[in-house]
């Protein structure tokens, strides 16, 4: 039996800020007041904390509170957007009026009379103790312990810094179809930076682990692995050099090599670029773009992954989207606007940085499924090339298709063996060409736990990526000599 709309306020968390169904209905009515077909409100309260350890002590702390609402008005593929940090009704209505100016007529669409809580969301990041209930003093030992372990691991270590962050974002989406969707999104991140000195030279490296999780994320095994990886990947730099310049075969290690997918194909499949006809992948749906053992997905479901979401920022269901199936391009990544444009269901990729921004198609957790080859077989097949195992950043030109990613650690491959460590080299290729050149895929898929952040049009969102070991027949290696 459902309770009557007149007596029950279905606004949950945001009721504490004075938001009720009446305010939401009035704001939506104003947003639709100039004739637009659709409007939505995105309330967000995000509380974040961070701690920094430098020179042996946790000597800096910070907190941030973001509270506001974004009002979006959609007319066809046109968008009006405004936001306010003052949640009074007067301010909500003024913001809605501003956003409504994208439409220039009179109202044809009535605001919803009744609001309803839209279905049960999946629970991909359930937490025990929420972050706001974890005190600073409970977090301190994690940082000081990591610091001590790094110094203990190698006598060449001269400086260590540790950055710890947690946040809890509660969102409430209300739209003109009457849906109310609430989600609580936790996140935590630990970044470890290590500087070492050896033979009069210095080297540094940093690594991070991140997830939508609570403090139990920091298991002894996970923390030990971070310490070990960071120290190892710093020390090996003393023996590393930039590889030679030119075209050669490239083997990508399992894990964070998924950055290649993110840049080479992920962004190019975001449907806003294709709707505008400016992506190198425009008009390629249904076409074969890679070998039949290449399968690529963008997945909202991996439990506690940094790139997991229960629902997207437009309130649409988010599952696992197959971008490339057996080498054939299957679908773009859609938000609601592009899905309507193409006449398909949204894929749950409408995401935004915060209430300050309108959503657009964004990736979540992007990875390639395991293939038929073995890692050893792939390495053995390369006469002269490079093996890439740790990455810093990447970038892409959507239309020309050229993309890059920066390799922090790797190896030279000679006659099928890893012979000499390499460092600090940018790789550059063209997306569709590189996808065609992926000629071996191993069975060792790993989703990376690093704190990856994707930037697009001035908005940053957390993402994850993964990869099995893969061989690319040829790429340009930006080395020296």
Partner 1 sequence: MSKLRQTAERAVQLAQAAGAGAATANAFESREVSVTWRDGKLDKVADATAVGVAVELYVDGRYASVSTSDLRHEALVAFVTEAVSMTRAIAADPFRALPDPLLYAGQSAADLAIDDATYESVTATHRLEIAKELEDAARGVPGAERILSVTTSCSDSRIASHRVHSDGFSGEKCGTSFWLAAEVSVLDADGRRPEDSAYAGSRRRSALPDAAAVGREATQRTLSRLGASKGPSAVLPMVLDHRVGGRLLGHLLAPLHGAPLQQQRSFLQGRLGQQIGSPLLDFADDPLVPGGFGSRHFDGEGMAARRFPLLEQGVLRNPYLDSYYARKLGLPPTTARMSNLAWSLGNHGRDALIASLARGVLVTGLLGGNSNATTGDFSLGVQGFAIEGGRIGAPLAEMNIAGNHLTFWQHLAAVGSDPYPYSAMRTPTLLFDDVQFAGT
- Residue 9 binds to partner 1 (criterion: CB under 8 A): no
Token digits for 355?
A: 């209430």
Alpha helices in 178-332 (DSSP H): 220-235, 259-261, 271-275
Residue closer to partner 1, measured from CB, 177 or 242: 242
Measured over all CA atoms, what is the biggest interatomic distance in the chain, rounded to whole angstroms?
76
Residue closer to partner 1, measured from CB, 228 or 241: 241
The vertex-428 CA angle with 373 and 288, nearest 5°, equals: 50
For 215, phi then psi, to 5°, come to -65, -20
- Residue 392 binds to partner 1 (criterion: CB under 8 A): yes
How many residues of this chain interact with partner 1, rule: CB under 8 A?
A: 84
Task: Report residue 226 CA to chain centroid gap.
Answer: 20
Q: Which residue from 230, 186, 232, 175 is spatially nearest to 211, judged by alpha carbons? A: 186
- Write out the binding residues for partner 1, residues 339-368 only, by CB under 8 A: 356, 358
* DSSP symbol at 221: H
- Residue 158 binds to partner 1 (criterion: CB under 8 A): yes
CA torsion 434→435→437→443, rounded to 10°?
120
- Residue 195 binds to partner 1 (criterion: CB under 8 A): yes
CA 379/CA 370 separation, integer angstroms: 16
Query: From the CB of 172, what's the least distance to partner 1, in Å?
Result: 16
Query: From the CB of 374, what's the least distance to partner 1, in Å?
Result: 30
Residue closer to partner 1, measured from CB, 323 or 358: 358
Out of 117, 224, 245, 344, point to the residue binding partner 1 (CB under 8 A).
245
- Residue 112 binds to partner 1 (criterion: CB under 8 A): no
- Residue 184 binds to partner 1 (criterion: CB under 8 A): no
Q: Which residue from 249, 271, 266 is spatially nearest to 385, judged by alpha carbons? A: 249
Q: Which residue from 410, 441, 413 is spatially nearest to 427, judged by alpha carbons? A: 410
- Residue 285 binds to partner 1 (criterion: CB under 8 A): no
Query: From the CB of 34, what's the least distance to partner 1, in Å?
Result: 12
Query: From the CB of 359, what's the least distance to partner 1, in Å?
Result: 12
Residue closer to partner 1, measured from CB, 47 or 328: 47
Task: Report residue 83 CA to chain centroid gap.
Answer: 23
- Residue 371 binds to partner 1 (criterion: CB under 8 A): no
Residue closer to partner 1, measured from CB, 70 or 211: 70
Q: In what order do the strands lie in the sheet with 464-467?
A: 328-329, 320-325, 296-299, 365-368, 464-467, 446-447
The vertex-408 CA angle with 457 and 194, nearest 5°, equals: 105
Query: From the CB of 164, what's the least distance to partner 1, in Å?
Result: 11
- Write out the binding residues for partner 1, residues 411-440 only, by CB under 8 A: 423-426, 428-430
Residue closer to partner 1, measured from CB, 151 or 406: 406
Mark the segment that binds partner 1 (CB under 8 A) among 33-41, 212-220, 273-281, 343-351: 273-281
Query: From the CB of 232, what's the least distance to partner 1, in Å?
Result: 17
Alpha helices in 101-246 (DSSP H): 136-153, 220-235
CA 270/CA 213 separation, integer angstroms: 27
Residue closer to partner 1, measured from CB, 107 or 242: 242
Q: Could you identify the residue written with the tokens 């093996």?
A: 387
Residue closer to partner 1, measured from CB, 297 or 427: 427
- Residue 453 binds to partner 1 (criterion: CB under 8 A): no
- Residue 409 binds to partner 1 (criterion: CB under 8 A): no
Out of 62, 123, 155, 419, point to the residue binding partner 1 (CB under 8 A).
62
Residue closer to partner 1, measured from CB, 311 or 398: 398
CA 98/CA 70 separation, integer angstroms: 11
Mark the segment that binds partner 1 (CB under 8 A) among 209-217, 275-283, 311-319, 324-332: 275-283
Residue closer to partner 1, measured from CB, 34 or 471: 34
- Residue 63 binds to partner 1 (criterion: CB under 8 A): yes
Q: 252, 245 in Cβ contact below 8 A?
A: no
Out of 280, 297, 438, 470, point to the residue binding partner 1 (CB under 8 A).
280
The helix or strand, by DSSP H or E, that contains position 337, with its residue range, turns out to be helix 336-342
Query: From the CB of 249, what's the least distance to partner 1, in Å?
Result: 14
For 397, phi then psi, to 5°, come to -100, 115
- Residue 473 binds to partner 1 (criterion: CB under 8 A): no
CA 362/CA 453 separation, integer angstroms: 11
Mark the segment that binds partner 1 (CB under 8 A) among 177-185, 285-293, 394-402, 410-418: 394-402
């Amino acid at each position: 039996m459902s309770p009557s709309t007149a007596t029950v306020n279905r606004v949950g968390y945001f009721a504490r800020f004075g938001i009720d169904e009446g305010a939401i209905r009035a704001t939506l009515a104003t947003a639709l007041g100039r004739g637009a077909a659709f409007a939505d409100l995105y309330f967000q309260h995000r509380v974040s904390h961070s701690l920094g350890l430098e020179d042996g002590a946790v000597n800096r702390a910070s907190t941030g509170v973001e509270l506001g609402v974004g009002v979006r008005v959609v007319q066809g593929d046109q968008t009006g957007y405004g936001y306010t940090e003052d949640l009074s009704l007067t301010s909500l209505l003024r913001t809605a009026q501003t956003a409504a100016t994208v439409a220039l007529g009179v109202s044809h669409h009535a605001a919803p009379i009744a609001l309803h809580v839209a279905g049960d969301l999946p629970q991909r990041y359930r937490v025990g103790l929420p972050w706001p209930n974890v005190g600073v003093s409970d977090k301190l030992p994690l940082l000081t312990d990591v610091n001590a372990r790094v110094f203990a691991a190698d006598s060449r270590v001269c400086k260590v810094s540790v950055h710890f962050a947690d946040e809890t974002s509660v969102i409430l989406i209300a739209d003109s179809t009457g849906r109310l969707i609430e989600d609580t999104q936790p996140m935590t991140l630990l970044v470890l930076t290590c500087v070492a000195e050896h033979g009069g030279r210095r080297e540094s490296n940093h690594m991070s682990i991140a997830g939508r999780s609570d403090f139990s994320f920091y298991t002894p095994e996970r923390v030990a692995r971070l310490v070990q990886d960071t120290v190892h990947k710093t020390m090996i730099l003393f023996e590393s050099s930039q590889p030679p310049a030119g075209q050669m075969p490239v083997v990508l290690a399992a894990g964070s090599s998924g950055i290649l997918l993110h840049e080479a194909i992920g962004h190019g499949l975001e449907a806003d670029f294709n709707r505008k006809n400016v992506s190198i992948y425009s008009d390629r749906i249904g076409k074969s773009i890679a070998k039949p053992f290449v399968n690529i997905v963008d997945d909202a479901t991996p439990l506690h992954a940094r790139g997991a979401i229960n629902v997207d920022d437009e309130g649409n269901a988010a599952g696992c989207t197959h971008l490339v199936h057996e080498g054939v391009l299957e679908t773009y990544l859609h938000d609601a606007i592009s899905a309507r444009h193409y006449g398909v269901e949204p894929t749950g990729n409408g995401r935004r940085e915060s209430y300050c921004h309108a959503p657009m198609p964004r990736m979540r957790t992007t990875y390639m499924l395991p293939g038929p080859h073995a890692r050893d077989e792939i390495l053995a097949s390369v006469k002269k090339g490079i093996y890439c195992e740790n990455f810093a950043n990447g970038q892409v030109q959507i239309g020309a298709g050229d993309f890059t990613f920066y390799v922090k650690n790797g190896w030279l491959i000679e006659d099928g063996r890893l012979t000499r460590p390499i460092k600090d080299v940018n790789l550059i290729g063209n997306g569709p060409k590189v996808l065609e050149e992926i000629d071996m895929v191993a069975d060792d898929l790993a989703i990376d736990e690093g704190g990856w952040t994707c930037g697009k049009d001035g908005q940053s969102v957390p993402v994850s990526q993964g990869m099995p070991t893969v061989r690319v027949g040829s790429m340009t290696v930006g080395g020296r000599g």
